[in-house]
Structure 1
Amino acid sequence: MSTSHSEEKSIAPPPSDAQVDPKADTDVFEEQPGHDFHYKTLSWQFVSLLMIAEIVSNGMLSLPSALAVVGIVPAVILIIFFGSFALYTAKLLIDFKLNHPSVHNMGDAGYILGGWSAREILSLGTIIFAIFGTGSELLSGQQALSTLSNNGLCTIYLLLIFSVATLLVALPRTLDRVAWLGLFSVCLITLSGLVAMIGAGVNPVPGRTLSATVPTTFYQAFLAITNPVFAYAGHFMFFILISEMHTPTDAMKAAWCLQGFSTLFYTIFAIVIYVYIGNTVASPALLSLPPVWAKASFGIALGNFLIAGGLYSHTAAKIVFVRYFRHTKHMYTHTVLGWAVWIGLCFGAVAVAFILAIAVPIFSYLIGIAASLFASWYTYGIAGFFWLHDSYHLGGGWPGLRRKPGQSALAVFTILVGAFICVAGTYVSIKLIDDAYKEGLVGKPFSC
């Protein structure tokens, strides 16, 4: 799938948008022996670990509370359904990437679907979501450090310490440099979950109430549904990860590992925590554990929050870097400009996330809005457009679509699901902000 390029082209100045055409059938990364940076180095096993490290981070912490809101039966059904649905949409994304090897991120895919405007919207959305994801991990890291230190230090300082560490994780230019951290991260989040379940099991809440189903309003129900929906919100990174695989055709193996592990782990963790804590379970769930067990679980998970935050900020930086330096020497050799821009982009991503986390009191609520606006499409809805586009353009037009009525209907259903999650999720997130202000739950910026 890779196409070799002349040495003259690899040392050309940064190409303009007109010169970089994601519709071209060339691989996004060149591979030449003389390059200092080799991008296409990841195996499917390491890609699956990076996917799990990125997705199964904050995801598990909010799921037990969903069981408390809608009941154990519908919540578990939703967790399994959205895990299976995310596997289906992952296949559509992977097929689209294999059909278009020049696609590096959602922006490139948007250019193929709808030209310049779609590229700018999807690129900006991916960067925004990645920065908000970084901020979410920074807040989780700060919360873990606060728990471990018994709130012995101002949260701003804890957030700053964790931000510096996150920046260091993001700095390697190629993902193979952090691949082993993915294995470490998966081990940590799994162990953290096991410790939390043991802690809940040996310290059950006396007189706890459990509910098979709970009558509730649409607002409360969808608020609970957003937890399993966005627990799988990692597809926006898939194109970037697959672009750095040495065998992209193995990507579906990584997707199977990701969705199989996450769905099983989410289901077991949510059920066990809920059964032993009951309807009073908090979000994040670790805060419902006795202090010693909460500290143990948070302390173990801290490394996962760090690595996931580094991956998110790396993603935001990589999108911009590849956009402007694709097929130039700055991508593949050590140059002052290349390193200066790369470090600046990584620093900027982490810095913006840090500032948002300390300066915007409602930032944790804004993360829900960002997930509703972008993850609803990147993880679910846009996959339907990918399938319809390729089935039409590569399958003979309308006759090609008519030959596959079931798949065409499923693609349209995928688009409708993404649109529904986007609209309903945004409504719920905005109402949450309004309620928080009315109840006096919103703090002040730059406060400990």
Structure 2
Amino acid sequence: MSNNTYHPEGLSHEKFDRTGGNDLVEGDREMGFTGLGLPGDVFGEEENHDIKYKTMTWPLAAVLMITEIVSNGMLSLPSSLDAVGMVPGVIVTAFLGVFATFTAWLLIEFKLRHPEVHNMGDAGYILFGPIGREILGGGTIIFAVCATGSQILAGQLALTVLSEGKLCAVAFSGIFSAAVAICSFPRTLDHLSYLCIVGGASIIIAGIVAMAGAGTVPVNLGNIVIARASDFTTAFISITNPVFAYAGHFMFFTLISEMKHPQDAMKAAWTLQIVATTLYITLAIVTYWYIGQGVSSPSFLSLSPLWSKISFGLAIPNFFIAASLNIHTAAKLIFVRLFRRSRHIHSHTFVGWGVWTFLILLANVAAFLFAVGIPIFNYLVGIAGSMFAAWYTYGLAGAFWLHDTYHFKGGYTGWSKRPMMFILCILTVCAGGFICAGGMYATIYSLREASIAGELPSPFQC
């Protein structure tokens, strides 16, 4: 791991970094250190600025997390249970919820020790130097744009179901992309978080209504599989559905940078994981039980026509608001990198708003073109998720702890004095590598099989 630490203005590492474990972070808090208002902080002092970023409370941060993470990904979970069986599917989903909570804690502690970190690119600089910054920063942008494209396709499907296909699917994608672009424009996450109250509520209500619809009009009641043997590719793709359903950690650094009290970030993470894991498991079990084997992905398609329309209609606000969060994250990474410590960050300048508008439109256009113009886009989303989300949500969290403990707790001695955490973090890094390699293999294999079978759709298809 690199000894490099990113400081935008050449700031002293010793002066502003607080590292080495939760005990030191707590000690810093006792001395009044919170990472707010210090020169090493991303946005610095904001008292006299026109645009203030550090205004978000932890409940709003929790709502933002829920909106982004608890989204269309959860609609694939019932089919995952069908692929591997109810018991293994539920165990994997519950385990990943606990695992994601652990890695969220590691990311949050790293952020509290390094207040200058705004995104995964900054964290990559600390761990691996300039190359790490470019890879992890670029990966964040790629994954965010792909995730937005996936939400556009979910919105397209929802509008198609609601209209019974009375308009070309590409037109629906364009309409949905325009809504995403409009919602992406606020410069601060605090303003977006109020929209997220609607987005978070909509997906939770849609899930509850979908379960009610499945129970009211069951398809194949109780025809489920407790455990199913399947080949590696099928099983791994099914298991990665819940893996990617928790994949929102890539925006945690950006989100925490705009919190009024970053030390409260773990409260938001706990709220997220409790809501997400509870809803995921409940929706998957109830839907699978009432629909039975052969449940579709997304699962709303397996409901009766009326309940499918109601559920999709309720979920639409979440789809485009979650997409807006992804676009905002990608644009904010580039924007902060261009203008960090300049007046364009905090003032209503022509250059600042011009660049921000360009970045928002560019990211939205790219997501739209990828979603409707690339026949293998769904497979590209799987590859991007395997390459980046596996590391952002899981593997890198272990590397953060290993780095800080090594450099600020006595090197190898610091590791040896904390054997349990050392082992857990090594396993976390290995888990990220396993999910990355296995997910890429399974996705590429599936793409090859679909290509041979002639199942790939045409670009810009109605």
Tell whether 2:144 aligns with 1:130: yes
1:169 alignment counterpart: 183
2:283 alignment counterpart: 269
Output aligned runs, 1:40-439, within 5 Å. 40-206=54-220, 209-439=223-453
Answer whether contact 1:392 1:400 (CA < 8 A) is retained. Answer: yes
- Count of paired positions: 432
- Greater shift in the superposed pair: 92-101 or 361-370: 361-370
The verdict on how the C-alpha distance between 1:44 and 1:207 changes in structure 2, with shifts beyond 3 A counting, is closer
Specify the code of the residue in structure 1 equivalent to 2:382: G
Answer whether contact 2:120 2:136 (CA < 8 A) is retained. Answer: yes
Specify the code of the residue in structure 1 equivalent to 2:56: L
Specify the code of the residue in structure 1 equivalent to 2:346: Y
The verdict on how the C-alpha distance between 1:68 and 1:34 changes in structure 2, with shifts beyond 3 A counting, is same
Answer whether contact 1:31 1:38 (CA < 8 A) is retained. Answer: no
Specify the code of the residue in structure 1 equivalent to 2:428: T
CA distance in 2, matches of 1:266, 1:312: 21
- Greater shift in the superposed pair: 225-234 or 177-186: 177-186
Answer whether contact 1:23 1:100 (CA < 8 A) is retained. Answer: no
**How far does the alpha carbon of each residue in 1:102-152 deviate from its partner, in whole angstroms, 9 at most, with x for none?**
000000001001110000000000000000011011110111001101010
Specify the code of the residue in structure 2 equivalent to 1:390: D
Answer whether contact 2:82 2:295 (CA < 8 A) is retained. Answer: yes
Answer whether contact 2:82 2:288 (CA < 8 A) is retained. Answer: yes
Answer whether contact 1:22 1:108 (CA < 8 A) is retained. Answer: no
TM-superposed deviation, 1:209: 2.3
TM-superposed deviation, 1:431: 1.1
Specify the code of the residue in structure 1 equivalent to 2:188: T
CA distance in 1, matches of 2:87, 2:8: 54
Specify the code of the residue in structure 1 equivalent to 2:230: T
CA distance in 1, matches of 2:116, 2:137: 15
TM-superposed deviation, 1:33: 2.7
Matched residue SS, 1:426: helix
Specify the code of the residue in structure 2 equivalent to 1:360: I
- Greater shift in the superposed pair: 295-304 or 29-38: 29-38
Identity over the aligned pairs, expressed in percent? Answer: 52
TM-score (normalizing by structure 2): 0.92
CA distance in 2, matches of 1:50, 1:128: 21
The verdict on how the C-alpha distance between 1:73 and 1:42 changes in structure 2, with shifts beyond 3 A counting, is same
The verdict on how the C-alpha distance between 1:287 and 1:21 changes in structure 2, with shifts beyond 3 A counting, is farther
TM-score (normalizing by structure 1): 0.95
The verdict on how the C-alpha distance between 1:296 and 1:22 changes in structure 2, with shifts beyond 3 A counting, is farther
- Greater shift in the superposed pair: 221-230 or 26-35: 26-35
CA distance in 2, matches of 1:19, 1:180: 31
Specify the code of the residue in structure 1 equivalent to 2:367: A
The verdict on how the C-alpha distance between 1:295 and 1:20 changes in structure 2, with shifts beyond 3 A counting, is farther
**How far does the alpha carbon of each residue in 1:167-188 deviate from its partner, in whole angstroms, 9 at most, with x for none?**
0111000011111111111111
Matched residue SS, 1:280: coil
CA distance in 2, matches of 1:266, 1:81: 12
Candidates 433, 443, 448, aligned match of 2:457: 443
**How far does the alpha carbon of each residue in 1:362-390 deviate from its partner, in whole angstroms, 9 at most, with x for none?**
10111111100000000000001000011
The verdict on how the C-alpha distance between 1:383 and 1:280 changes in structure 2, with shifts beyond 3 A counting, is same
**How far does the alpha carbon of each residue in 1:19-47 deviate from its partner, in whole angstroms, 9 at most, with x for none?**
55598531001233321100000111100
CA distance in 1, matches of 2:145, 2:42: 23
TM-superposed deviation, 1:358: 1.3
TM-superposed deviation, 1:223: 1.3
TM-superposed deviation, 1:205: 1.3
Answer whether contact 1:45 1:254 (CA < 8 A) is retained. Answer: yes
2:22 alignment counterpart: none
Answer whether contact 1:28 1:104 (CA < 8 A) is retained. Answer: yes
Runs of at least 5 residues in structure 1 that lack an aligned partner in the other structure: 1-16
Answer whether contact 1:23 1:102 (CA < 8 A) is retained. Answer: no
Once superposed, what is the RMSD of the aligned Cα atoms?
Answer: 1.3
Answer whether contact 1:22 1:109 (CA < 8 A) is retained. Answer: no
Answer whether contact 2:220 2:293 (CA < 8 A) is retained. Answer: no
Runs of at least 5 residues in structure 2 that lack an aligned partner in the other structure: 1-5, 17-39
CA distance in 2, matches of 1:192, 1:441: 31
TM-superposed deviation, 1:444: 0.9
2:33 alignment counterpart: none
- Greater shift in the superposed pair: 435-444 or 259-268: 435-444
